[in-house]
A and B are shown apart, each in its own frame.
Chain A
Amino acid sequence: MSTVPIFADESWQQPSRGRVGMLCLIIGESAIFTIFVVAYIYYIGRSLTGPTPSILEVPYFNSVCLISSSFTIVLAEHAIKHGQMRRFRAWWALTMALGIEFLIGTGIEWKDLIVDRHFTISTNLFGTTFYSLVGLHATHVVVGMIGLSLVMLFTLMGRVNQGHAERIQVLALYWHFVDAVWVVVFTVVYIVGR
């Protein structure tokens, strides 16, 4: 490592605190998800009573929506970095629409399971692990949506400008994390576990 003395006229740069803070939060959140995913995998096939994971339908459309919202938010980040506010608003709105679609899709899936099939969190061990893991992820989507909506609100009030590009990027990091976790949850719950 270099420990050459630094003199006052040399440039002194450090990573942005928002980015470091968000990355730390993501590391912590990953540990929470790891525990729930490990519990899910360990308990696959250990339920003593039915129903089994075969009652699940694979939410392809939902997943495509959520994953593509990661791309739209990148386009929004790009737009605000270059000060194209109208473009930013459009991509941001599309990101939110995709997120809301995901939540509606999950709601329909859960209504089908809970109301029509009477399969709840206390039905059996599979129900406990399924609702808690998918619910934990959905909770994170809701939290992300609250963040996105606040930005949208301030944008419509005309309070967001190019100077906020970095903060938008920090929030987008969280959204990317939520999407990346869905890839894991989707694989474990709907592909491996089913």
Chain B
Amino acid sequence: MADQTLPIPGSLGEEQQRVGMLEWLHSWVVTVDHKKLGILYVVYALFFLIVAGAEAMAMRIQLAVPNNHFLSPELFNELFTMHGTTMVFLVGMTIIFGIGNYLVPLMIGARDMAFPRLNAFSFWLSAFGGLFLYFSFIGGFGLYGMGSAPDVTWWAYAPLTAKAFTPGHNTDYWALALIVMGFGTLGAAINILATAFSMRCRGMTLMRMPLFVWLMVVTSGLTLITITPLTAAQVMLIIDRFLGGHFFDAQAGGAPVVWMHFFWIFGHPEVYVLILPAFGITSEVIPVFSRKAIFGYPAMVAASVGIAFVSTTVWAHHMFTVGMTSVGNAFFVLSTMMVGIPTGIKIFNWIATMWGGKIRFATPMLFCTAFLFQFLCAGLTGIMLSVAPWDWQLHNSYFVIAHFHYTLAGAFVFCIFAAIYYWYPKVTGRMMSETLGKWHFWLFFIGFHITFDTMHFVGILGMPRSIYTYEADRGWNALNMVISLGGFVQAIAVLIFAWNLVYAYLRGKVAGNDPWDAWTLEWSTPSPPPAYNFAVDPVVRSRRPLWDIKHPQDPDWKYER
């Protein structure tokens, strides 16, 4: 049972013959090939990245000047709910499982995922979940009539979600879409774990797997125990809304705080689910562009598993203002601070990998270098917010927004861009333009800092989140204008990126099998890889199999212990 022997219908290699449009479309719809599904996931996620980005831009136009009337308050509520939900579930989750889908089998020398049909099923669940969520803009009936998208924020605190306070069905669209996508994600996570544990090629022991695969394993393991509590909580919400249950109904003895706990038991590990694959991407890119093997591989693996464990015990740091006991507060302060230990180990290891290396600042490396700096800053504001009294002061202010956008945009999205620039030649066979890539990087980097550095200040000055406008006498005017302008710089950068993607696909330089002189197995296949991935099952003797092939007189396995 360890390998796939069935021919895989609709895989990439078959496209070589000219086929009709309908047949081509059909081959993508019925495909169970991990590479095609990976591409579908990533394209889907990039589409929603643009959608959610446009929602953010609309909100920034509204907030650029005080007492603005660009958006109505109702629409503003819908937009920040949808922006958050989309970015986390439709962009973040789908893109990590897309990249993981594409790369994990290639990196471990397998023919496909462990369960190809489950893989297709998971993708289509996620895809239709997302469409269902967005259908609410047309078909959702809410407090303000037809066409109401969910407007209860992406954490959807009770009792606002109760039938009495949010009539209509827009909250149901939100809850049901998340349940459907949750099952899709669960399937994808199970598949990644089974693939990594059962489909490795000969010699690929666990401690020789590329760090990206390790980080996908840790992420998938964490997904198993974080997405499911969200599904359980959504089922409770649906029971409350449709069957007249009382889980979060304070008038019948239920406790809205229970929803907060359940949501953040999901919500906090969720940000680690997103950031761990980003760590994996960095751990692949930095060694290749520093021309050195990763520093401290076993420590990196241990730190990743450590982060996953610690991350499950920190959720209530989102709830310091609820009024927990001082013992509760102290526990969550300390556990939150503990996350800094394994994360610090990783940052030092990346720097040690770069130290003394022959660094090439190609676009992927630029994004990863910026990631190191921004993730460090995000970690530091995280330590600040983990101190309960500091959090009491700044909770629900723009300081918190700035902090988590530093982690999710400044760290996660930067690594995703690095991954796309790095693996695009493998997926399409063509290089993305370095010139456009550098424009994209610098504009996005500058725009990012203009926006999110300034957000810290406006937060310390007391601007709360989730407000659709503000009075002119609060001293926030200039800062908000700067934040919005930075947003436009980022939007231009993303458009350059989108153009680069399309242009490179049509006119890009032909890449060859191994344009970056890299060391992991995916670079030993043609670009794009054929349906069967490897003509001969690879045999691996070290963590850098391609190094061994390229340097037979000085292979890695002589030194790895």
Contact = CB atoms under 8 A, between A and B. Distances in A.
A22 B541 CA distance: 30
B54 interface: no
A14 B243 contact: no
A27 interface: yes
B246 A124 contact: yes
B244 A122 contact: yes
Contact of A14 (B197, B246, B255, B560): B197
Given A27-B224, A128-B239, A20 B233 contact: no
Given A8-B539, A31-B228, A124-B252, A39 B190 contact: no
Interface string A141-164: 000000000000000000000000
Interface string B106-128: 00000000110010000000000
Contacts of A18: 1
Interface stretch (A42-50, A61-69, A108-116): A42-50
B232 interface: yes
Contacts of B265: 35
A49 B249 CA distance: 13
Interface residues of B, number: 57
Nearest to B228: A31
Interface string B41-81: 00000000000000000000000000000000000000000
Give the one of B115, B190, B539 with max A CB within 10 A: B190
Nearest to A2: B205
B253 A47 contact: yes
A15 B229 CA distance: 28
B6 interface: no
Contact of A121 (B193, B243, B541): B243
A54 interface: no
A121 B245 contact: yes
Interface string A116-138: 00000110110011001000100
B243 A36 contact: no
A177 to B, nearest CB: 14
A20 B246 contact: no
A25 B247 CA distance: 26
B232 A125 contact: no
A128 B1 contact: no
Nearest to A6: B203
B427 to A, nearest CB: 25
A133 B557 CA distance: 53
B245 A21 contact: no
Contacts of B208: 3
Interface residues on A, range: 35 or more
Give the one of A35, A43, A49 with max B CB within 10 A: A35
Interface in A4-23: 5-6, 8, 12, 14-18, 20-21
Contacts of A59: none
A132 B239 contact: yes
Interface in B207-251: 207-208, 220-221, 224-229, 231-233, 235-236, 239-240, 243-247, 249, 251
A27 B189 CA distance: 11
Contact of A43 (B194, B251, B253): B253
B254 A43 contact: yes
The dominant DSSP class at the A interface is helix
Given A24-B189, A31-B225, A39-B258, A129 B247 contact: yes
A74 B114 CA distance: 26
A97 to B, nearest CB: 30
B355 to A, nearest CB: 24
Nearest to A33: B232
A3 B246 contact: no
Contacts of B247: 39, 125, 128-129, 132
Interface in B519-548: 539-542
A28 interface: yes
B235 A25 contact: no
A155 to B, nearest CB: 21
B551 interface: no
A21 B246 contact: no
Contacts of A35: 228-229, 232-233, 262, 265
B200 interface: yes
Contacts of A101: none
A175 B285 CA distance: 44
A32 B235 CA distance: 10
Give the one of B194, B200, B205, B221 with max A CB within 10 A: B194
A77 B228 CA distance: 30
B223 to A, nearest CB: 8
Contacts of A124: 246, 252-253
B196 to A, nearest CB: 9
A122 B542 CA distance: 60
Contact of B541 (A2, A6, A28, A166): A6
B228 A14 contact: no
B191 interface: yes
A145 to B, nearest CB: 20
26 contacts: A3-B560, A5-B203, A6-B540, A12-B203, A14-B2, A14-B199, A15-B197, A20-B198, A21-B115, A21-B190, A21-B194, A24-B190, A28-B224, A31-B232, A32-B228, A34-B229, A36-B232, A39-B262, A43-B254, A43-B255, A48-B253, A125-B246, A125-B247, A125-B249, A125-B253, A132-B247
Given A39-B236, A121-B239, 19 more contacts: A3-B205, A6-B205, A6-B539, A8-B539, A14-B198, A16-B198, A17-B115, A20-B197, A21-B193, A31-B224, A31-B226, A32-B231, A35-B233, A36-B236, A43-B253, A46-B254, A47-B252, A49-B252, A132-B236
Interface of A: 1-3, 5-6, 8, 12, 14-18, 20-21, 24-25, 27-29, 31-32, 34-36, 39, 42-43, 46-49, 121-122, 124-125, 128-129, 132, 136, 166
Interface of B: 1-2, 114-115, 118, 186, 189-191, 193-195, 197-200, 202-203, 205, 207-208, 220-221, 224-229, 231-233, 235-236, 239-240, 243-247, 249, 251-255, 258, 262, 265, 539-542, 557, 560-561
Top 7 A-B residue pairs of the complex, sorted by shortest distance between their CB atoms = A122-B244, A35-B232, A17-B198, A31-B228, A128-B245, A17-B114, A6-B203
